[in-house]
Amino acid sequence: MREQVIDLIRQSGLTRVAAQIEGYVKDSIRLIPEKTNEENLKIGVTKIGGHPDLPPEIQWPSWNNIPQSFIAQLRLADFIDFDFADQLPQNGWLYFFYDAEQSVIGIDPKDRGGWSVHYFDGNESVLARREFPTNLPVHSQFNACHVKRLAEPTIPSSDSIYIEQLELTHEERELYWALYDQVHELHRKRNGALHRILGYPDPVQGDVHYECQLAFNGLDVGEAKSYTDPIAAKLNPARKEWQLLLQIDSDQQAGMMWGDVGSIYFSMQSRDLEQKRFEQAWFTYQCS
């Protein structure tokens, strides 16, 4: 698919900036879900939804005294052949949880704690399938899905800092929107639900990583004045440091619906990802 994306860029009419856009292409790992009987899944395999296979030392996280919903677990050894930039640890597991009532959307600094990302780099033999807490809402108990993994190239959204820095003319911006839609359509043809690891996020609204950068650094993105705050201007260049860790779309297979057919995003700053500081991951929720 990378060759298809490069061809689309070269045929887009964006002659002045085509080389830069080609340089922006990032590989992601696409997750194609298939609902399954969880009893048929071995302990520790990569999956979306279902029950987490946790070591004893990881407690089920909560938010406002309600258990968080379990989103996904990633067995990192499954992705070695797809992580072309060597961004992920080669061993261990990542576990993702989120506020069961979806009251947290990651735009307020006070939202921290409404999601959890846990990393375990121990022996697989200690993992055990954890039952849902009795007070976890039924609507937040998701279907177990086996996942197929595919390499998938991505390009930045028109709201990203990468495209902003190209200083596109009005005509070029329209051409880029058309290009982005074409690449997006290639992705959708594989599967309607856009779950991915790494690469660029697929935003439903504005730039995911601008929201991360501002909220992570203390600005409430829900307030319009935050965008004109002098601090925002100082923070803006560093949104390049953010990296998508996991994107989970609304998905009938998993029984997940984020607002009005939205998506949720877990992202990290590159330096934290390199140091495996997964507790520093920030969360964003967008829907139409």
Instruction: Look at residue 94 in the predicted model and tell me its pLDDT.
Output: 99
How far apart are alpha carbons 53 and 271 in whole angstroms?
28
9-59 per-position pLDDT tens digit:
999 999 999 999 999 999 999 999 999 999 999 999 999 999 999 999 999
242-277 per-position pLDDT tens digit:
999 999 999 999 999 999 999 999 999 999 999 999
Instruction: Look at residue 82 in the predicted model and tell me its pLDDT.
Output: 94
Could you give the domains of the chain? 2-286 (2.30.320.10)
Report whether pLDDT(193) > 90: yes
Q: Is 146 left (phi over 0), alpha (psi -120 to 50) or beta?
A: beta
The mean pLDDT of 54-65, rounded to a whole number, is 98
Q: Which of 114, 123, 111, 146 is nearest to 57 (CA)?
A: 123
Alpha-carbon distances of 248 from 122, 167, 243, rounded to whole Å: 26, 31, 15
Report whether pLDDT(222) > 90: no
Q: Residue length, the chain?
A: 288
- DSSP letter at 142 equals P
The mean pLDDT of 71-94, rounded to a whole number, is 96
The mean pLDDT of 178-190, rounded to a whole number, is 96
97-115 per-position pLDDT tens digit:
999 999 999 999 999 999 9
For tokens 């139409």, what's the residue? 288
Instruction: Look at residue 288 in the predicted model and tell me its pLDDT.
Output: 84
119-176 per-position pLDDT tens digit:
999 999 999 999 999 999 999 999 999 999 999 999 999 999 999 999 999 999 999 9
Instruction: Look at residue 227 in the predicted model and tell me its pLDDT.
Output: 86
Q: Encode burial over 48-74: b for 16+ CB neighbours within 10 A, e otherwise.
A: bbbbbbbbeebebbbbeebbbbbbbbb
243: its two tokens? 């990296």
The answer to whether 51 touches 129, Cβ cutoff 8 Å, is: yes
Instruction: Look at residue 225 in the predicted model and tell me its pLDDT.
Output: 86
